[in-house]
Structure formats: structure tokens, C-alpha cells
Amino acid sequence: MTLQTELLFDPLFLTPFLTGLPYALLLPLLGAYLRLKDEWLAALALAQTAAAGALVVLALAWPPAVGGLLGALVAAAGKHGAEGLAPALRGAAYALLLLFGWGVAVLLVANLPVAERLGHALLDGQLYFTGTAELLTALAVLAVAILGVAFLSRALLTAHFFPDHFRARGRSASRAHLLFDLLVAAALGFATMSVGVMAAFALVFVPPFLAFHRAGSWRRGLVYAMGCGLGGYVAAFALALLLDQPFGAVLSLVLAALALLGVLRASAGRSGA
């Protein structure tokens, strides 16, 4: 393993770096609401199903991003349909969705030569193949999703902390939940195409996990999560380039290490108190 410091400043890697930045900010933001709703496992199922969708449409010679988006939206529809189930059954539904997406993706990679390269990119998280189109898509997804979260945040929080609030007024929170699910599906569908399955999931899961432990308020928690996602992403991008390793795996390890440090720090704080 050799350090390739000159790659850090290679213009070739600037566009991939910029492409990942919006997702590094956005996925932790969405992850905070998914964590609140105890639906973080659904994010992994959506990312995996997006990857499967991208590989399926590759066989039809369609653009993978279309398949990724369709796969995530189909998974979101399944997730929304499972919302009437008991919490334990909902978790099982997400797990089954995840297994289904993973199984389809691996079989396509194994049996379809055209899917092999994209399949490895999605599973390894090879951000370096992204270009200007992906960058513009990422910026548009970030803008739409930030506006969407700003619009839906109060309804999502109110529905969580006052479950009968909307019903008591003859209204329903299901429209807000559905819009949020569509937002998450679209963001994860596009993000998975750029950063890969596990990197997208790591950005959804770890920063909010740390933020919920550390932040003093909801607003500060969102900022903390986005900062954590951004810091982890920049560190992982540099490390992956320097060490010539797959980006998705490095990002997952960097964020997992951050989570471990956060847990150890919290444990030390409790035992010292």
C-alpha cells in the first residue's frame, strides 16, 4: 500500500469529490428523521433496492440512475404499505426488502456481464466514476430535499411526539409521511448511484446516531449530524485516494470508527460522572 498524495490535488478527482459533498450533507439530515421514526433500517433496504433497480435497467439499456430511482421508489411504496403493521413486523418488512434487493443485485452481477462493472461500483462505492451530470443531479437533489425537509419537519415531529394531534383535528399525518418517504427514496436512489450502497447507508445511520447522543437540541442535532457527515466524507475521500482503496469501504470504516469513539466517550462520561 503506497501513499499517493499527488492524487489529492488531481483535477480528475475534483468532480467526484464535489458530487459526494451534497449527499454527505443531505443523507445525515434525512437520517435524523429516519432515526426519530425508528426507520433507519429502511434506508439500507432502499439503498440496496436502488442498486438492484439500476442493475435491472442496465439489462434493458436504460440509464442506471433511472433504475436506481425506480428501485428506491418501489421500495418506498413497500415501506409505506408496511406502516400499518406493528413495529416488529415493520422491521421484518425492511429486512426482507433488503434481502430481496441484495439477492437480485448479486445474481445480476454474477450472470450479466454488462452489470458486473456497475455492480462492483455500487457495492464497493467507487465515487470516482461520477461526472458533471451526477454533480448537477446531486446539487438539485440537495436543494429539493432541503426545501422538502424544511416544509415537512414540523409535521413529522408533531406526528411523532403528539400521535393523535392530526387525527383530533380531522386531519392525517400520512401525507407528510408519504412525501418524506418519497424524498428519502429519491435521495437514496441518486446517492446510491454515486457513493454506493453501504456508504449511503453509513451516511444515513452514523451521523444521526452520534448527534442524538451528543446534541443539546433538535436543531443543533441536525447541524451536528450534517457536520459529522461532511467531516467523515472529506476524511474518507482523502484516505481512499491516498491509500488507493475503495471509497465506500473507507467511508463506512471512518464513520464506524467515529461511532465507536462516540460510544466510548459517552461511556467514559457516564462512569466518570
Partner 1 sequence: MSGAQAPSLAPDAVLGGGALLRGDALVAGYDRPVVGPVSFTVAAGEVVGMAGPNGCGKSTLLRALVGAARLFGGRLERAPGLAVSIQNQQQPPLDGVPLTGRELLALTGASPSGLPPWLEHRLDERLDRLSGGQRQYLSLWASLGSDAALVILDEPTNNLDPAGVAHLAEALRTQAAAGRAFLVVSHDADFLACACQRRVAVVPRTGDGA
Give min distance, CB of 216 to partner 1, in A: 6
Interface with partner 1 by CB under 8 A: which residues? 36, 154, 157-158, 160-165, 167-169, 211-221
* Terminal alpha carbon distance of the chain: 43
Within 8 A by CB and 6+ apart from 224, the residues are 207, 210, 211, 214, 215
Burial class (CB in 10 A: 0-12, 13-18, 19+), 250: buried
Contact predicate 25/226, CB 8 Å: yes
Beta carbon nearer to partner 1, 95 or 215: 215
Beta carbon nearer to partner 1, 2 or 271: 271
Give min distance, CB of 93 to partner 1, in A: 21
How far is 228 from 231, CA to CA, in rounded Å? Answer: 5
Give min distance, CB of 75 to partner 1, in A: 26
Beta carbon nearer to partner 1, 80 or 213: 213
Give min distance, CB of 67 to partner 1, in A: 36
Beta carbon nearer to partner 1, 41 or 76: 41
Residue 2 CB coordination number (10 Å): 7
Beta carbon nearer to partner 1, 131 or 163: 163
Angle 118-186-165 from CA coordinates, rounded to 5° = 150
Within 8 A by CB and 6+ apart from 57, the residues are 63, 64, 66, 67, 70
Give min distance, CB of 263 to partner 1, in A: 13
